[in-house]
Amino acid sequence: MRPVGSYRALLAGNASFRRLFAVHAISILGDWFNTIALLGLVYGNTGSPLLIGLLFICEALPALVLAPFIGGVVDRCDKRRLMVSADLARAVLVLGYLLAARWLPVVFVIRVVMSVCSGLFNPARQAALPVIARREQLLTANALMTTAWGVIAVIGAALGGLLAATLGREVAFVLNSASFVISAVLVSRVAIAPARDADAGQRGEPLAGQRVTGTAAARFILREPVVLGLIAAGLSWGVVGGAYHLLVPVFSADVFRAGDSGLGVLYASQGLGVVAGSWVVGRYLSGAARAMKIAFGVAYVGQGLSFMLFANAGSLLTGAAILVVMRAFGGVIMALDTTLMQLHTPASMLGRVFAIHYALFGAVTQMSMLATGLLLRGFSPAQVGSAFGAFCLPVALTWFALMAKSGSSLDSARPESTAG
């Protein structure tokens, strides 16, 4: 499989993908406004890394507990209606953050409910993409989605920090609510045809539209080496990523002494890196199984080593520059993770597999954040970050070993669906 056409050609020739891409971009922008404001609100009022960890646990735990149910809903229900409903619910919920100045615990309650809505929306969007785009367009489409994440992260993080510092965090929450409303309108115009798995029955897999039990999905994951490897890699990066997500605001506030503005700079820097990484995927990776697997493992090593360097940065400028490099490797990982998962999973299981993938990754990430908050009581940010970064190296070796033994290729991946 080789990616065909340019980003421009894909956007111009596929109206449904164009709308889904716009939804993706608008949602990211609003989420970054919300993230900068929310992290600043909790850390600024409490000074507690532990509560930052608790905030993210409130996001991850519901998704983990409800993953089998959520995945089943995504696989069986109309994905467009599901995404519209989730967007409209989040548009209302996020306005509840305006009450945080009077009662801070409301932040954690809203975070839990928002997690359920996002747990429905994100797997539905990922499951819809292989139906909207042709199989040979998936790598290009996912690279473009990742590029958008990086570009909007630069804009959203910078503007989010500026908004929080000048107009107040309340403005950021209102804008995030508006972004969900706009997203719902755009999603309502996306044509998502029922997915087809031409030879699913011959492979002993359920046809699209048939009910998939949690047991069947688990058996599929365990017997498909690439999917199992991606989920395992996601779990391991959740351990490291939890420390990373907690240390970024800690470095901005306590090490670099830069506050909300510095946090915006750091997040904008990671956005630039993701853009660079996704560009490399779209420009140089052919989509061949060997190239994609090797690139994934190499990027994993690079991201871990870069994290170790960031943990020892002494200034905002140095830390921001290292984050550009670190997240360039992350951009490669993001695009390849999604593409490989979509290509190796039958349409009838995409919602459940992505729900499990996201839930496990999110849960481990948040538990890692909580552990990092505890570790920071006895160790410096540099010591904690260096230790977690080093963890990436043996994990990458495990990935290479698993892929070497898998013997699978993209030629045996899920057959092409009809593009919308």
Q: How does pLDDT run across 154-183, given as a tens digit for each residue?
A: 777 677 777 777 777 888 888 889 999 999
Write b or e for each residue in 264-295: b if 16 or more Cβ atoms lie within 10 A of its Cβ, otherwise e: bbbbbbbbbbbbbbbbbbbeebebebeebbeb
Angle in degrees, CA 279, 240, 28, rounded to 5: 45
- Average pLDDT in the 11-15 region? 87
Q: Residue 330 in contact with residue 270, Cβ under 8 Å?
A: yes
What would the DSSP string read from start to end of 166-201? HT-HHHHHHHHHHHHHHHHHHHTT---PPP--TTTT
Q: Residue 120 in contact with residue 82, Cβ under 8 Å?
A: yes
Q: Considering the entire predicted model, what is its pTM?
A: 0.72
What's the confidence (pLDDT) of residue 407?
Answer: 57
- Average pLDDT in the 101-119 region? 85
Q: CA–CA separation, 333 vs 296, rounded Å?
A: 6
Largest CA distance in the chain: 60
* Per-residue tokens: 420: 């919308």
Q: Worst-scoring range by mean pLDDT, 45-54, 194-203, 230-239, 338-347?
A: 194-203
Q: Higher model confidence: residue 348 or residue 60?
A: 348
pLDDT > 70 fraction of the chain, expressed in percent and rounded? 88
- Average pLDDT in the 327-344 region? 89
CATH superfamily of 15-186+214-412: MFS general substrate transporter like domains (1.20.1250.20)
What's the confidence (pLDDT) of residue 267?
Answer: 79
Q: How confident is the model at residue 214 (pLDDT cuts 50, 70, 90)?
A: low
Q: How does pLDDT run across 28-58, given as a tens digit for each residue?
A: 888 878 887 887 788 777 777 778 767 777 8
What's the confidence (pLDDT) of residue 4?
Answer: 43
Q: CA–CA separation, 67 vs 351, rounded Å?
A: 10
What's the confidence (pLDDT) of residue 405?
Answer: 66
Q: Higher model confidence: residue 211 or residue 327?
A: 327
User: 211 phi and psi, to 5 degrees?
Assistant: -70, 135
280: helix, strand or coil: helix
What's the confidence (pLDDT) of residue 382?
Answer: 92
Residue 418 DSSP one-character state: P
Q: How confident is the model at residue 351 (pLDDT cuts 50, 70, 90)?
A: confident
What is the amino acid identity at position 310?
F
What's the confidence (pLDDT) of residue 349?
Answer: 84
Q: Is residue 360 over pLDDT 90? A: no
Q: Residue 135 in contact with residue 343, Cβ under 8 Å?
A: yes
Query: How many other β-carbons are positioned within 10 Å of the β-carbon of residue 341?
Result: 22
Output the average pLDDT for the chain: 81
What's the confidence (pLDDT) of residue 196?
Answer: 53
User: How far is residue 35 CA from its own chain's centroid?
Assistant: 14
What's the confidence (pLDDT) of residue 409?
Answer: 44
Q: Higher model confidence: residue 388 or residue 201?
A: 388
Q: CA–CA separation, 220 vs 357, rounded Å?
A: 13
Q: How confident is the model at residue 383 (pLDDT cuts 50, 70, 90)?
A: very high
Distances (CA, A) of 216 to 205, 223, 377: 9, 11, 43
Query: Domain map of the chain by residue range?
Result: 15-186+214-412
